[in-house]
Structure 1
Amino acid sequence: MTSMDPRALRDAFGSFMTGVTVVTARDEHGAPVGFTANSFSSVSLDPPLLLVCPGKFLSRHDIFANCTRFAVNVLADGQQEISNTFAGYKGDRFAKVAHSNGLFDLPLIDGALAQFCCKTHQVLPAGDHTLLIGEVAEFSHSTGQGLGYVGGSYFSLGLEREVDAMVPTICGAIIRSGDSVLLEQSNGAYRPIQIAGVERGGQRNRLTQGLSERGLKVQVEQVYSSFDDAETKQHYTYFLASCSRPTPLEGAEWIRTDDLPNLKYVSGGVRHMMTRYAMEAKEGDFSLYLGDASQGDIHSLR
């Protein structure tokens, strides 16, 4: 047993962006079983091997640790609900998700970006998980974007590329730590921490660099809001971001999420965004907003 903080270590592991898969098999009675996993990796082309890591805490762990056949379904952008179903739903998961049977009668998720039907090649214990290595016997693949996951949240690579193709004048981050958000003041009004003059493309990297230059070591997560503001005649793109503990910053302060709707903000667009953030933070269910300062489209990231 080490003295490492498990929560902090998990957060550090979670900073690695991954795709999302649903791993499926059949139990000893032939019933379909499955779980959501982002611990997936290709291993070898010759022979064709892949790896998934079911946790020993899973109720169906022993089925996968002892199976001779299993399938890996790489979820497509927009299949968040399928991921959530196989991550936590306690009822008949397959009754809620469209699927078909593939090679070895393995359940395959309809609409998945890629599907791999495997023979079990090797099973190895690894701490609180099991390494399940499969030899690919058959696979299929379609064009499109995969569903992304980082920092405990989904992100849409397709939508992020759409946002990145825009030309924002202002790029910023809603930085949260616990139940507080870091805001700075400008002319007596509040706004999230931001940097100016970001050119088309590379917004995430430029924002991370700009925040670091201001002494903020944060994990930049998914795009949260991208909008034109007629009041300021500028375009804004804001990301969600997090840090393990509140970091002091000159000219800024940490404010409780519950207090956000009551503040004076630099513009109506920022006020609208921060009010929405306060509401969504209560449920831990964040979405992406695309539009102008008063109306637009909301894309669920669940």
Structure 2
Amino acid sequence: MTFDPRTLRDAFGAFLTGVTVVTSFNEQGDPIGFTANSFTSVSLDPPLLLVCLARTSRNYAALTGAKGFGVNVLSEGQKEISNTFARPVEDRFASVTWKKGPFGAPVFADVAAWFDCSMHQLVDAGDHVILIGRIEGFENSGRTGLGYARGGYFTPALAEKTLLANAEDGLLLGAVAERDGEVLLVGDGKGSWTLPFVEKAENDGLEALERHLACQIGLSIQTGLLYSVYEDTKTGRQHVVYRASLGKGEPQAGRLFLIQDLPLRQISDPAVRELVKRYAQESTLGNFGVYFGNQEKGRVHVVAAKG
């Protein structure tokens, strides 16, 4: 059976992916790179990943003959970099800040993550070749990645900004803030533990939560992906909770608890207790989801994996 290539490509485009720029050097020693979303992890031991390269690519000879390559996972603010490396621009690298990685491939600044790989194996695959790289070095910045689906970009932050902008009064922003396998809990004023929350004022966004923790907890925080959206039907208040990373130092308020030894019985709010319990379970599995519902019932949508 034969298929129309355009129709088949559109069907493939239904799958939501991240966006990467694959890099290396040509025979003349000039940096080369192209935008790709056909990227995936392969193995942890040994550490392997793969990208797919079209045989018609102008970079085909250079990449298949290279000793290695880099994969730069673009962050949500790097759409223009993606566009630049997807076009036949004369000097694509003039638009980015980059350096050589540990194995020598060009790696970009401000990306969500980068991987510098030696060439492990080339696999013929129809009109493409699969480049399997052995990871020689990598860096994970914690930034949220840029998404792509149906021929267009999307970012979690854009969707969340819309959510926050349309929220009515009485919205609380909270965080499951983690550092080195520990989660921050704060006192709720009633002798129990809870997550850090701050009331969202009009026109406030995530910066309100980050300011609150910086002032009240005394630690920097980098908010990540959305983790839970639920309404407390008893109070009528909406809660929007994010995963977050804490900076260094001891908290001036609250306490850090090991993820697998959280004081669940000392969390009086059942919604927070279930949220924290789910986070501990998902941390063990390495798969995280987003909960939508109220304090009693709802649904978890699995959308991300732990880095």
> Would you say same fold, with TM above 0.5?
yes
Verify the 8 A CA contact 1:65 1:123 in the aligned structure 2. Answer: no
Paired residue total:
217
Separation in 2 of the partners of 1:64 and 1:299? 44
- Name the CA distance, whole Å, in 2 between partners of 1:191 and 1:273: 10
Question: What is the CA distance between 1:85 and its match in structure 2?
Answer: 4.1
- The CA distance in 2 between the partners of 1:226 and 1:65, in whole Å, is 53
C-alpha separation in 2, matches of 1:100 and 1:189: 58
Aligned 8 A contact 1:102 1:117 in 2? no
Measured in 2, the distance between the counterparts of 1:92 and 1:216 equals: 38
Distance 1:123 1:216, change over 3 A: closer
CA contact (8 A) 2:175 2:244 kept: yes
* In 1, Cα distance between equivalents of 2:49 and 2:286: 23
User: Following TM superposition, by how much is the alpha carbon of 1:284 offset from its aligned partner in structure 2, in angstroms?
Assistant: 3.8
CA distance in 2, matches of 1:64, 1:233: 64
Q: Which sections of structure 1, spanning at least 5 residues, go unmatched?
A: 1-18, 24-34, 36-53, 55-60, 76-81, 134-148
CA contact (8 A) 1:150 1:221 kept: no
Give the residue type in structure 1 aligned to 2:157.
L
Give the aligned partner of residue 235 of structure 1.
238
C-alpha deviation, 1:67, in angstroms: 7.2
The DSSP-based 3-state class of the residue aligned with 1:160 is helix
Distance 1:153 1:261, change over 3 A: farther
Q: Could you tell me which residue of structure 2 aligns to residue 151 of structure 1?
A: 142
Pick one of 17, 20, 23 that aligns with 1:22. Answer: 20
Please state whether the residue corresponding to 1:263 is helix, strand or coil. helix
Structure 1 match to 2:250: 247
| Matched ranges for 1:70-149 at <5 A | 70-73=33-36, 83-85=39-41, 90=48, 93-94=51-52, 104=58, 114=83, 116-118=86-88, 121=91, 126-128=99-101, 130-131=105-106
Q: Which amino acid aligns with 1:285?
A: N
Sort the Cα spacing of 1:69 and 1:217 in 2 relative to 1 into closer, same or farther, 3 A. closer
Q: Secondary structure at the match of 2:262?
A: helix
Change (3 A) 1:267 1:91: closer
Say whether residues 1:223 and 2:221 are aligned partners: no
Counterparts of 1:104 and 1:189, CA distance in 2: 62
Indicate the RMSD between aligned Cα atoms, in angstroms: 4.1
Q: Is the 8 A contact 2:291 2:298 kept in 1?
A: no
CA contact (8 A) 2:182 2:257 kept: yes
The alpha-carbon distance between structure 1 residues 162 and 263, as it changes in their structure 2 partners (threshold 3 A), is farther
Structure 1 residue 150: deviation in Å? 5.9
**CA offsets 1:148-178 (integer angstroms, 9 cap, x no match):** x961554613432343232352112222111
Q: Is the 8 A contact 2:25 2:32 kept in 1?
A: no
Q: Output the TM-score relative to the length of structure 2.
A: 0.56
2:161 equivalent in structure 1? 161
Q: Which amino acid aligns with 1:126?
A: K
The structural deviation recorded for 1:258 is 0.5
**What one-letter code is carried by the residue in structure 1 that aligns with 2:173?**
C
Q: Which residue of structure 2 aligns with residue 211 of structure 1?
A: 213
Equivalent in the alignment of 1:184 = 186
Q: Does structure 2 retain, via aligned residues, the 8 Å contact 1:257–1:278?
A: yes
Give, as a single letter, the amino acid of the residue that structure 2 aligns with 1:156. P
Following the alignment from structure 2 to structure 1, what is the Cα–Cα distance between the partners of residues 32 and 106? 14
Q: Percent identity?
A: 16
Q: Is there any run of 5+ residues in structure 2 with no aligned partner, and where? A: 1-16, 64-78, 109-139, 146-154
Q: What is the alpha-carbon distance in structure 1 between the residues aligned to residue 250 and residue 88 of structure 2?
A: 47
TM-score normalized with structure 1 length: 0.56
